Each structure stands twice: as C-alpha cells, then as structure tokens.
Amino acid sequence: KVVAVIMVGGPTKGTRFRPLSFNTPKPLIPLAGQPMIHHPISACKKISNLAQIFLIGFYEEREFALYVSSISNELKIPVRYLKEDKPHGSAGALYYFRDRIMEEKPSHVFLLNCDVCCSFPLQGILDAHRRYGGIGTMLVIKVSAEAASQFGELIADPDTKELLHYTEKPETFVSDLINCGVYVFTSDIFKAIEGVYSQIRDTSSNYQSATRSVPADFVRLDQDILSPLAGKKQLYTYENKDFWEQIKTPGKSLKCSSLYLSQFRQTSPHLLASGDGTNRKPMILGDVYIHPSVKLHPTAKIGPNVSISANVRVGPGVRLINCIILDDVEIKENAVVINSIIGWKSSIGRWSRVQASGDYSERLGITILGEAVTVEDEVAVIGSIVLQNKTLNVSVQEDIIL
Ligand code: GDD
C-alpha cells in the first residue's frame, strides 16, 4: 500500500495570490476548470495500491470540507484534510501527522506541493525509487540558469541519479537542475525528521541560532532534510521530461490552466469543448473548457486557452481569448476578455474590454478582477488588478484598484 500527502499551506502563504485568494484558499482556485489540487489528486488516483490521500494545511477545516467529500466520492478514494494548529514547515507538517499517515502501514508515502503544475509522473517516480533504494526519490527538472535561483538547485550523479548536493534558493548559481516539489519516501523519512528535532533539542540554542532562522518546532524539507542528506546514498532524483511550472501568482495560474487544458487532449478529451459556429453552437478555437451549466450565446467566439466555470452567462458577440472565467460571472454582449482572470460573480458590461499584454512574468501582464467586480458598459480595463466588490465606470490602464 502507498499513501499520498499534498501540502496545501495556509492563508498567510497565499498572499501573492490576491485578490483571488481573499475568499477562496489558493489550492481551490480553478485551473482548466478544476481546483488547483484536483490535478495532483487525479494523478495520485493512477498509482497502484493507493490507500488514501491526505491534504495537510493550516486553513480552517470548513474551507476544504465540501471539496474533500465530493472528491472522495468522485474518485472512490478517501481524501482527508488534516489541519495543523499553526505552520510547522513542510517536513514538520508531515511529521506532525505521522501516526495518521502511517495508520495503514504504507510502504511508501508520496509528498506533493500543491502549487506546482505538472503531469505528476508518480508511478514512474515510485518504480525508479524501488530500483535506487534509499529513503526517497524526488522529481527534478532542468530550467534556464536565470530561473533556477527561485528554486532548490541540486547536483545529481548522471549515472546513479543519486542526489549529491542540494541548496535551497542559492544566491550564487549552483545548477540548472531544480527541485519540482514532488517526492516519494519510505517511512524512514520520519526518522530523518525525528533526527532533526532531536538535534535541535540536544544542541538547543547553539544549533538553533547558528544554523536556523525559523522556530524550533519548524522543520523545512529542503534546508533541514534534503541538504544534509545529499551525498549519503539516501536520496535519488527522477528527471521530469514533461511540462512543469510553479504557481505562485495568478498570472502563472493562467499559464498552468493552458498546460492542463492541452494535457486534457491526451487524458480527458471529453472535457474539451468543440464547435464551429454552426448548429447554434459558438465557434471554439484551440483548447477550451466550458462547465455544462454555462449559458453561451451561439454568436460568441471562444479560445484558445479559455476555461469557463459554473453558471457563467456569455452574451452575443462576446470574444474570449486566454482567460479564466470563474463561477457566476456575466459577460454582456460584444464584450472582449483577453489575457485575464475574471473573479466569481463579476459582471462585464456591453462593448467593454478587459485585457492585458499576456506577459506572465510581468506584474500587470494579466488583468485580474477580484470577486464581484462590476465593469460598466463601454469601459476598458487594461493591464490592471481590481480588488473585490469594485465598480468601474471609467477606463483604467496599468493600475491597481484597491
Ligand atoms: N501544511 C503546511 N504547513 N504546508 C506548508 C507549510 C507548513 O508549515 N510550509 C509550506 N507549506 C507548503 C506550501 O503550501 C507548498 O505547497 C509547499 O509546502 C512548499 O512551500 P515552501 O516551503 O514555501 O517552499 P517553496 O514553494 O518556496 O519552494 C519549494 O518548492 C519548489 C518547487 O515548487 C522548495 O522545495 C523548492 O526547492 C522547490 O523548487
């Protein structure tokens, strides 16, 4: 048997995701029409002998209750939310719930960050790990040298794949091979974390102040476990050859939405919409997800990379390109939405434009409307972020509307 743990973090961790994370925990924000964590969860479902999935975080339990019960029913696998009383760090959180995780005596525990987007080749990682031995195997990927410094950089033996050296977000370049935040471990991971705790206890103040900048009961997987265990024949790497992105900003979620939509071509083609503008169906271009409850006018033109959530109404002549439209939005006739995310219950007026450059790396490269924003008729909102409950009756450009 194996179990999977997905680290979901908590409200203080999601601040870069504002304004979308004000009322919805970041892990539940839809990408390609499914909550962010739905994608790793459905990848877990494909592992043979998977007994349970745990989500560990410090959000209130009620925020995950509905999702956890519906996904458990849908996948027919128990998915449980375990709430920490406060953040314990990525390894500390795992250790905090060790008895629950080990209840069914799994041979292996998968550990996944919730905020990464990839095809999650979990069975491949597990099979590789069984060949390598040791405590754990991590998914790694090559990125550009400039991008690498935002991640854990590492050096692996090209033949044995052993992790030889690991540095978390180094200031000077170490390697363009980085940590994807997806791991499989044997139960020995708990002994390794226990070892860090006893080291902290034994050498208490000295060790703590010399080498750690975090509270004594906070254990980070990267700095406190991966770095010291590198080069000891305990950790191995599995290289990801498919897509991978980290999801720290709303702009990135638009990019990840497009990656998941194109993955649907292979894994779930039934989720992708089609239509050529005839037979009273709108014209669909490229990869588009449309929730079955959406009311679409047949003269609208939609795509590529568009996902439209439940109960959205799209009027005549509307054009949607590269955008995420969240639940209960209304888009009135001849409005245009390009390179944008439209928050729940928002309304876009007639002949209005909500648009941005589409450069994901720029702060205002994607226009984001928070929950219940009203854009009145004939108003343009360009390269801007608009907080929840605002009404815009004049056009704005490169602005943050608080
Ligand atoms: N439950 C819980 N409790 N979750 C936590 C906690 C905690 O105290 N702290 C972090 N997390 C979750 C986050 O929500 C995220 O899913 C994951 O653990 C890792 O978060 P961080 O520890 O903040 O690290 P990071 O995301 O900046 O970087 C990590 O992931 C990168 C890949 O995305 C590192 O492992 C990097 O090396 C790696 O490249």
Tens of pLDDT along 4-45?
Answer: 999 999 987 667 888 888 889 999 999 999 999 999 999 999
Per-residue confidence (pLDDT) for residue 198, from 0 to 100: 87
Q: Which of 85-99, 166-180, 199-213, 339-353 has the weakest average pLDDT?
A: 199-213
Measured from the Cα of 218, ligand 1's closest atom is: 8
Measured from the Cα of 58, ligand 1's closest atom is: 1
Of 6, 13, 16, the residue with max ligand 1 atoms within 8 A of its CB, to mutate for a pocket test, comes to: 13
pLDDT, mean of residues 103-125: 97
Per-residue confidence (pLDDT) for residue 87, from 0 to 100: 94
Per-residue confidence (pLDDT) for residue 211, from 0 to 100: 63
Measured from the Cα of 89, ligand 1's closest atom is: 8
Measured from the Cα of 86, ligand 1's closest atom is: 8
| Residue located via tokens 């994370």 | 21
pLDDT in tens, 338-379: 999 999 999 999 999 999 999 988 889 999 999 999 999 999
Measured from the Cα of 179, ligand 1's closest atom is: 39
Measure 304 CA to ligand 1 centroid, in angstroms.
31
pTM: 0.95
pLDDT in tens, 128-157: 999 999 999 999 999 999 999 999 999 999
Measure 113 CA to ligand 1 centroid, in angstroms.
6
pLDDT in tens, 310-344: 999 999 999 999 999 999 999 999 999 999 999 99
Distance CA 114, CA 118 (A): 11
Write down the mean pLDDT value for the chain: 94
Measure 324 CA to ligand 1 centroid, in angstroms.
25
pLDDT, mean of residues 207-224: 77
Per-residue confidence (pLDDT) for residue 155, from 0 to 100: 97
pLDDT tier for residue 204 given thresholds of 50, 70 and 90: low
pLDDT tier for residue 216 given thresholds of 50, 70 and 90: confident
Q: Which residues line ligand 1 (CB under 6 A)?
A: 7-9, 13, 56-58, 84, 87-90, 93, 113-116, 151-152, 168, 178-181, 222, 246
**Atom 5 in ligand 1: residue holding the nearest Cα:** 9
Residue 209 has pLDDT above 60, yes or no: no
Residue 213 has pLDDT above 90, yes or no: no
**Atom 25 in ligand 1: residue holding the nearest Cα:** 151
